[in-house]
């Protein structure tokens, strides 16, 4: 038997006992990472269920599919038909802002089979919207969970009530746009960032979670381009907090592979650095004054400043009265820097989501907002409400502070919450924009859902067929049937007819040159791309004057005083010049000028303009893809003048001889 080791001294035993008492408990399998008090856990899940149910019910009462939502479905139809991610066959234009929503709708429509695309969009948008609010609340609940350990508390919905009370939030929970996907993404990223910010023993520090979080953060730009402000900030925080270069490499690869791969595809396939919608609306431009008008238009009907004035002191009170549990202190692992520890912490997660919301709001105000009431400010508000989506109300126990102070804190918290709940009840029943909701006034902003409900006569315009009751829509189908030889359709002042420009035919007796006769073509030139594009066949080309699906209009300059979201306006002369249409009176409507058309024809010979059009119309090949990729920057920056005569001067081209004025009636 070897020598007996001396027993530990009493002081050493006491030190070991103290260390063991402070050592974080290792999480057992099957147990929650942060054990909530029973009342807090139950109240949190009840609150999530109630808020989700109220939001779903409120959104269903206001269900609809916007014209812009139908634009996405036209692209999905082309994908399903094998024409690629385009709006018009043979013309590579990215008419949708959200890449992720386009392909999610493609998968949903493929799986749905015979189910109408509109119903697939409705179901996906509503489900994702409700999921986003639930994740927002669960993220906030997780944020407060550590400080509630061993305390009696209940969790009450606060910021979540504010969001679902706003009528625009319920409008755009459906709408067929990517708003629902945006909410689900923001809720997921917030929840994951809170998990990441609490570095306790468990799985949240593992490679799988790190890779998943980096992937979600990098995915932001595919949900909406401006969300790269948020996803990029999350990736920067992760890189700062990473302990090894191997972990940093994992973050870069997981976060950057998909967005970089799609960006290469976009540059090679579409010949642009940004989505076509961003080019059409000059998303990098600024209209500060219009942005302030948009902000006021969002605030005024609902007095959004009231819940802000209530939630800010409520948040401050939660910060002041919070507990710093010992098991959230950094583990005794290798010291990887004070900055890294500060970045990977709950306060940093809160700062992350607040800064992200403010940056998004600032971007949209700078850009000028939107023409849809409240739409683009919903996501920034969603982020700003995240830290107080739910709030804990703790029962005084005399441990952290005296019972008198505890009752005072609980009372103030309860009073502020009652104020938020009262405002939410009032705002949920607000008339919104009132009499101006469906009128395009000087602001250019309308309540889009009410506008289309009134214009179509359907309380819930959901399908493309519902939009046939919109002015001019039924006449589109009639006119297409009555022009079997092809025609260009231009909107007239009469809502039940369209002005026509026939296809140009070879002169009598002219030799065809061995070429096959040109097949009849139809083109519809109209602003409302969605309702037209979903009610006509894919063989009908549908273009607009503001550039969402028109490569020529995309590259015009933004009008300084144009209606927001409709800042570009291409003259129909260009459309006639750009197609196989008759270019002289009486083939063109009497309100157009033959000389303008002739000048547009000449201006289209500008070498730079021809190169831009070839980038989207020439057959796709490896050479074309590489050429588009290399020239995507200059194609994105390229602009033409909407006045043909000025465009000729810009390109240094000769002005055609004016045609003799034809006799007109």
Mean pLDDT over 337-355 rounds to: 91
Of 16-20, 108-112, 113-117, 489-493, the least confident: 16-20
Q: Name the CA dihedral angle for 194, 196, 201, 205, rounded to a multiple of 10 degrees.
A: 160
**Residues 6 or more apart whose Cβ sits within 8 Å of residue 437:** 373, 446, 447, 450, 451
At 171 the pLDDT is 96
175: left (phi over 0), alpha (psi -120 to 50) or beta: left
Assign 152 a pLDDT band (cuts: 50, 70, 90): confident
- pLDDT at position 20 over 50: no
Of 177-181, 267-271, 314-318, the least confident: 314-318
Count CB-CB contacts under 10 A for residue 19.
Answer: 10
639: left (phi over 0), alpha (psi -120 to 50) or beta: beta
At 265 the pLDDT is 97
Of the two residues 482 and 10, the one the predictor is more confident about is 482
Assign 404 a pLDDT band (cuts: 50, 70, 90): low
- pLDDT at position 228 over 70: yes
**Six-digit token string for 431:** 């008339």
Mean pLDDT of the chain: 88
CA distances for 47 relative to 141, 312, 396, angstroms: 11, 21, 22
- pLDDT at position 205 over 70: no
Mean pLDDT over 544-572 rounds to: 91
| 71-86 per-position pLDDT tens digit | 999 999 999 999 999 9
| 589-641 per-position pLDDT tens digit | 999 999 999 999 999 999 999 999 999 999 999 999 999 999 999 999 999 99
- pLDDT at position 126 over 80: yes
d(CA 40, CA 44): 6
- pLDDT at position 331 over 50: no
Phi, psi of 603 (to 5 degrees): -65, -30
At 519 the pLDDT is 86
| 159-199 per-position pLDDT tens digit | 999 999 999 999 999 999 999 999 999 999 999 999 999 86
Q: What is the share, in percent, of the chain residues with pLDDT greater than 90?
A: 72
Mean pLDDT over 364-383 rounds to: 95
Q: CB-side exposure of 532: number of CA atoms within 13 Å? A: 27
At 6 the pLDDT is 45
At 665 the pLDDT is 56
- pLDDT at position 147 over 50: yes
Assign 393 a pLDDT band (cuts: 50, 70, 90): confident
Question: Could you tell me if 352 and 234 are in contact, meaning their C-beta atoms sit under 8 angstroms apart?
Answer: yes
At 319 the pLDDT is 81
- pLDDT at position 13 over 90: no
At 12 the pLDDT is 41
**Six-digit token string for 412:** 């103030």
| 417-426 per-position pLDDT tens digit | 999 999 999 9
Assign 326 a pLDDT band (cuts: 50, 70, 90): very low
- pLDDT at position 577 over 50: yes
Question: Could you tell me if 524 and 536 are in contact, meaning their C-beta atoms sit under 8 angstroms apart?
Answer: yes
- pLDDT at position 27 over 60: no
Mean pLDDT over 250-276 rounds to: 96
| 46-105 per-position pLDDT tens digit | 999 999 999 999 999 999 999 999 999 999 999 999 999 999 999 999 999 999 999 999
Which 3 state secondary structure label does DSSP give 155?
Answer: strand
At 323 the pLDDT is 57
- pLDDT at position 515 over 50: yes
**Six-digit token string for 604:** 């289209």
- pLDDT at position 320 over 90: no
Tell me the angle at which helices 622-637 and 607-617 cross, rounded to the nearest 10 degrees.
130
Mean pLDDT over 234-240 rounds to: 96
- pLDDT at position 555 over 50: yes
- pLDDT at position 14 over 50: no
At 200 the pLDDT is 59
Q: Alpha carbon 603 to chain centroid distance?
A: 36
At 149 the pLDDT is 74
pTM of the model: 0.90
């Amino acid at each position: 038997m070897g020598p007996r080791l001396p027993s530990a001294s009493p002081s050493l035993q006491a030190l070991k006992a103290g260390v063991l008492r402070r050592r974080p408990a290792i999480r057992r399998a099957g147990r929650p990472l942060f054990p909530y008090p029973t009342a807090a856990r139950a109240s949190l899940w009840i609150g999530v269920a109630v808020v989700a149910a109220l939001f779903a019910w409120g959104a269903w009462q206001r269900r609809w599919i916007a014209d812009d939502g139908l634009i996405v479905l036209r692209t999905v139809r082309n994908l399903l038909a094998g024409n690629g991610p385009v709006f018009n066959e043979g013309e590579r234009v990215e008419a949708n802002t959200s890449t992720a929503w386009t392909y999610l709708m493609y998968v949903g429509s493929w799986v749905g089979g015979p189910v109408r695309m509109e119903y697939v969009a409705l179901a996906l948008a509503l489900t994702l919207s409700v999921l986003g609010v639930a994740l927002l609340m669960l993220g906030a609940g997780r944020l407060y969970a550590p400080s509630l350990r061993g305390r009696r508390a209940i969790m009450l919905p606060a910021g979540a009530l504010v969001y679902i009370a706003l009528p625009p939030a319920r409008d755009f929970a459906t709408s067929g746009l990517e708003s629902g996907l945006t909410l689900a993404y923001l809720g997921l990223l917030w929840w994951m960032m809170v998990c990441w910010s609490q570095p306790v023993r468990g799985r949240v520090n593992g490679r799988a979670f790190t890779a998943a979080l980096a992937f979600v953060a990098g995915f932001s730009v595919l949900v909406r381009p401006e969300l790269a402000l948020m996803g990029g900030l999350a990736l920067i925080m992760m890189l700062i907090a990473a302990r090894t270069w191997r972990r940093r490499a994992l973050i870069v690869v997981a976060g950057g592979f998909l967005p970089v791969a799609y960006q290469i595809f976009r540059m090679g396939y579409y010949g642009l650095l940004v989505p076509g919608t961003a080019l059409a609306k000059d998303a990098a431009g600024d209209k500060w004054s219009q942005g302030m008008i948009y902000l006021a238009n969002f605030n005024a009907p609902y007095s959004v400043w009231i819940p802000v004035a209530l939630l800010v002191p409520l948040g401050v009170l939660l910060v002041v009265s919070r507990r710093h549990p010992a098991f959230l202190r950094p583990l005794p692992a290798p010291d990887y820097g004070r900055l890294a520890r500060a970045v990977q912490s709950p306060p940093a997660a809160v700062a992350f989501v607040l800064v992200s919301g403010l940056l998004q709001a600032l971007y949209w105000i700078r850009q000028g907002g939107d023409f849809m009431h409240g739409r683009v400010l919903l996501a920034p508000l969603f982020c700003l409400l995240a830290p107080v989506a739910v709030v804990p109300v703790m029962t005084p126990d005399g441990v952290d502070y005296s019972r008198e102070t505890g009752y005072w804190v609980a009372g103030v918290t309860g009073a502020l919450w009652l104020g938020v709940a009262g405002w939410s009840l009032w705002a949920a029943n607000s008339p919104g924009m009132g009499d101006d909701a469906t009128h395009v006034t000087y602001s250019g902003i309308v309540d889009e859902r009410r506008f289309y409900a009134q214009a179509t006569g359907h309380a819930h315009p959901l399908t493309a067929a519902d939009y046939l009751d919109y002015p001019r829509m039924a006449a589109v189908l009639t006119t297409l049937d009555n022009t079997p030889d092809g025609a260009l359709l231009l909107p007239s002042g009469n809502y039940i007819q369209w002005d026509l420009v026939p296809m140009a035919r070879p002169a009598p007796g002219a030799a065809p040159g061995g070429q096959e006769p040109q097949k009849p073509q139809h083109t519809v030139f109209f602003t409302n791309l969605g309702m037209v594009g979903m009610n006509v066949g894919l063989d009908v080309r549908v273009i607009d004057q503001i550039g969402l699906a028109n490569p020529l209009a995309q590259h015009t300059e933004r009008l300084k005083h144009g209606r927001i979201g409709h800042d570009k306006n291409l003259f129909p002369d260009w459309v006639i010049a750009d197609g196989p249409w008759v270019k002289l009176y009486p083939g063109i409507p009497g309100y157009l000028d033959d000389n303008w058309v002739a000048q547009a024809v000449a201006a289209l010979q500008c070498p730079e303009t021809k190169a831009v059009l070839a980038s989207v119309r020439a057959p796709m090949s490896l050479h074309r893809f590489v050429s588009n990729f290399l020239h995507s920057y200059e194609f994105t920056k390229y602009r033409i003048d909407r006045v043909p005569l000025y465009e000729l001067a810009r390109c240094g081209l000769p002005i055609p001889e004016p045609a003799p004025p034809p006799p007109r009636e």
